[in-house]
Chains A and B, each alone.
Chain A
Amino acid sequence: MISPRFSRRVLPLLVAALTLLLGQNHCFAETRTTNLWWAPDAVTVGGHKVDHLLTFVFNLTGITFIIVAAVYAWFIVKYRYRPGVRAVYSHGNDKLEAIWTCIPAVVFIGLAAYSNHLWKELRSAAPADAIPIDIVAHQFGWFIRNPGLDGKLGAFDQKLLSTENTFGIFDGDPDGAGKDDYSSSDLIIPVGRPVNVILRSQDVIHSFYIPEFRMYQDAVPGRKIDWVWFTADRTGSFQLACSQLCGSGHYNMKAAVKVVTQEEYDKIVKEKSKEALLDNLKKQSAQQQHDDSAPAAASQPVAQR
């Protein structure tokens, strides 16, 4: 197996040189020139924990593999056919069987326990102060709805999802939390604050995948998945990719993810919330006038055969 440490030095320089010669580099998201044989650096708190486990499993399997392969190669060379030398007549050894059943069992079950412990931690309920972000996947992008200054998302109903009502928002939002929600095409979150993503889908199964966040979750139509949360621990530009085959546009389904400082984030939220509030007021008064003159037409539900 290739040691990540060796490959960090020599090969990336070669690959980077090749890439600069052969390819174009947009600075849309961070381009990687180091660590190309391993995973990109993790940028979330949970991501670092995943990396601990990843490195542990890599070392465990790597060392075991090297030992097994070395012994195997030695057997192949040492016990090759030689004239006059007979094989040993042996049907096995029960004691050895017991040993090499028990030791792997203990190791694997131990690993399962460790993994499940971390899994429980990563998938625990989002903290109460997490910023909720509503993401509705569709062919072939994501509609992203951010809470405004109040930090709360407007209520929605899955059954109301439609081509016009992309978030399934109630017409009459009782507590008014949704009035300042604004949508965006990019996912913009502040550094150091937990973010809780609520995943839904309008049509087929998509997914929410950001490699640097070590985060993956399928978005299933008809369901609301709200256990995805993470805390980014440094600023930067990343990419959100769809990683569940969703049709012919799957290969191009991506969005930008920006982790910004708290100040920048506050600025964006303030600005966008204000716009959203104004938009809402305008819509309300337009609707009022429309209602007075003609009854509203029903919009088409999305998943229609």
Chain B
Amino acid sequence: MQPIAQKEEGLVSYKHEAAPTPHDDHGGDHHHHHAPHHGFFRTYVWSHDHKMIGMQYLFASLLFMAVSGALAMGVRWQLAFPGHPVPVIGHLLPASIANPDGSIAPGGYNALVTMHATIMIFLAIMPILIGVFGNFLIPLKIGAPDMAFPFFNALSFWLFFVSGIIMLASFFVPGGAAAGGWTSYAPLSTTAIYQGSAEAGHTYAQGQSMWALGIFINGLASIAGAANYITTIINMRCPGMTMFRLPLTVWALFITSFLLLLAVPVLSAAGAMLWFDLNAGTHFFSGDNVTGGQPLLWQHLFWFFGHPEVYIMILPAMGLVSEILPVFARKPIFGYRAMVYAIAAIGVLGFIVWGHHMFVSGMNLVLSATFSLSTMVIAVPSAIKTFNWMGTIWKGSIHFTTAMLFCLAFVILFVIGGFSGIFMAATPIDLFIHHTYHIVAHIHYVLFGGSLFAILGSIYFYFPKMFGRMMSERLGKWHFWLTFIFFNLTFFPMHNLGLAGMMRRIADPTQYEHLRNLQPLQVFVSLSAFGLGASFFLFWWNFFYSLFRGPKAPHNPWRANTLEWTLPSPITLHGNFEQTPVVYHGPYEYSVPGLSQDWLPQNMPLRDMPKNAGVAIDVD
């Protein structure tokens, strides 16, 4: 099988490359084309260039992801070996997390679980999908010189980064990090005395307050970014780039931005109210029947955000996958318009399903029925997209690069995650599996098997364009297979654990009669999780080594059609395009009959492309 990417040395010349820019002899050096007055600070710290901001988001998010992954390892250790000291680092853990002997304390376990989810969601998955790929790709794919509001864009990144520092710092305040779950249900989260603490005699809620503050600031970054993206996409498309010639990544990010704009302010408000309940004597969410608060109000506000949030995390991933599958199947995306309508449908429907998190919360039972219906209906556009992805590879010519492997896996893992969601959408079944590990399995199949696999594939795919070098395909394939295998070994058995009645967020399953016999399965899951964590080191090694020592990348190693691949690798020009490109067709014109090559860049008119004489020429 000939890979589409180059062999590790040298460039391949194409017969009819897209219009080369005069700067294609620059390698991975970032410094060359910055205007002379931009020093280190303006280039790397406070850059207004969307490409640099995208990379800032990337490095920061990968760091936060590493931290959150480590927290997850702590969670799995405690579940498999409750009460056993954490090896090597047990004694170094703060008192809010671990006992003096290095084993994880119950309150500390709750903090690990809370912060693992919070950091993964707000500081890793969202920033990579939206901050990295949104920032880096949107102007390039629409032929724009930068975002509509570059200053605002820089501000977004630093707000995000500050929110991350606050979240990490919360581990080190008295009482430790927030420990009420990433969902922070009131009144546990709003009342210090209920939170208890490992430090006897004191109750602190500083960690929870910092959580609320971090969420609020993170929300500001999201809202600013969303406004930027919508404005850019509507106003700054190059000539010929009509809405229905937009790459699906851009469509997905466009609709995601509307979700962000409408949902995040609700979370910010709820977070502010939570902060006030903790620190200013308000009673928005109290349940004491005296002061007039309502615990369920928190849940409605949180989940009104929380449900669109999960679509915020999956739609860009779907867009990225929809971009990569056609490239490596050498075929147009199947059903472009249906895909766009499905994204829009998911976005709209996503706002009317939040009650499915609250079926058994004490909410009115009739509401449960209506939310159950809307939840079942939202499965339909996801099904449409899945069939379209399958249609894309049908009768294609599939090249199994690392990026393609991750995207192929995305489809089937997302299907598993979606199907496990059907169980919960049926309210009587939710009566039984609510707040069990069945939910945890579902979450991880859609967020890890879904979003994170799409992220990893996209990093392998866009790395050449960002950094001017290729990542190692060999290491990449090892990384993929190990991740895929360990991921399934870790999370599939959680469906069974959930059905067996294992509740979420319990620091010691051996306390329960109905779970004690399942401990061997817990150990198996944890060992698989450790394997999964270890396989990430392959990725980080590949990523950082390739940054400095990877083979130089050509303009268009993947022979893709979208506009960013007409530019050099890496793109060093502020303003991206020497001349504003003109677009003649959609982005998925692969294997057009009659052409001598199997791809057709968006900025090349069909009439200018060399035709073949009726013989199918092998493009490899």
Contacts and interface: CB of A to CB of B under 8 A. Distances in A.
Contacts of B2: 81, 83
Contacts of B431: 50, 122, 214-216
B25 interface: no
A104 B383 contact: yes
B62 interface: no
Contact of B373 (A65, A116, A221, A239): A116
B503 A91 contact: no
A57 B426 contact: yes
B398 A81 contact: yes
Contacts of B360: 207, 216-218
B384 A100 contact: yes
A88 B517 CA distance: 53
Interface residues of A, number: 113
Interface string B501-517: 10111111011111011
Contacts of B276: none
A243 B431 CA distance: 12
Contact of A61 (B391, B397, B423): B423
B514 A40 contact: yes
Interface stretch (B87-95, B325-333, B458-466): B325-333
Contact of A76 (B393, B420, B432, B506): B393
Contacts, number: 367
A37 B398 CA distance: 37
Given A31-B516, A245-B188, A254 B511 contact: yes
A24 to B, nearest CB: 8
Contact of B377 (A79, A105, A238): A105
Contacts of A19: 516-517, 519-520
A64 interface: yes
Nearest to A206: B188
Contacts of B408: 76
B395 A220 contact: no
B288 A303 contact: yes
Given A19-B519, A50-B428, A116-B427, A303 B290 contact: yes
A198 B377 CA distance: 33
Interface string B361-394: 1100100110011011101100110111011011
Interface in A155-199: 158-159, 161
B531 interface: no
A23 to B, nearest CB: 6
B331 A245 contact: no
Contact of B288 (A32, A37, A114, A302): A302
A265 interface: no
A231 interface: no
Contacts of B379: 104, 108
B294 interface: yes
Given A57-B423, A250-B110, A303-B286, A87 B512 contact: no
B331 A89 contact: yes
A37 B518 CA distance: 9
A147 to B, nearest CB: 23
Interface in B168-197: 179-181, 185-188, 191, 194-197
Nearest to B408: A76
A36 B377 contact: no
A127 interface: no
B187 A249 contact: no
B487 interface: no
A119 B380 contact: no
B426 A53 contact: yes
B609 interface: no
B349 to A, nearest CB: 12
A252 B399 CA distance: 52
Interface in B564-593: 588, 590-593
Contacts of B513: 26, 28-31, 239
Nearest to A52: B428
B396 A104 contact: no
Contact of B331 (A25, A87, A109, A114): A87
B496 interface: yes
20 contacts: A23-B519, A40-B501, A50-B432, A53-B426, A53-B428, A88-B396, A97-B388, A111-B425, A112-B377, A119-B428, A159-B290, A204-B188, A220-B296, A247-B196, A248-B197, A250-B505, A250-B507, A251-B109, A251-B507, A303-B287
Interface of A: 2, 15-16, 18-19, 22-23, 25-26, 28-33, 36-40, 49-50, 53-54, 57-58, 60-61, 64-65, 68-69, 71-72, 75-76, 79-93, 96-97, 100-101, 104-105, 108-109, 111-112, 114-116, 118-120, 122-123, 139, 158-159, 161, 201, 203-205, 207, 209, 211-212, 214-223, 225, 227, 238-239, 241-252, 254, 301-305
Given A36-B517, A249-B196, 8 more contacts: A19-B517, A25-B516, A54-B423, A69-B415, A112-B372, A203-B194, A215-B432, A250-B505
Interface of B: 1-2, 105-107, 109-110, 179-181, 185-188, 191, 194-198, 281, 286-290, 293-296, 329-338, 360-362, 365, 368-369, 372-373, 375-377, 379-380, 383-384, 386-388, 390-391, 393-400, 408, 411-412, 415-416, 419-420, 422-423, 425-429, 431-432, 434-436, 496, 499-501, 503-508, 510-514, 516-521, 588, 590-593, 598, 616, 618, 620
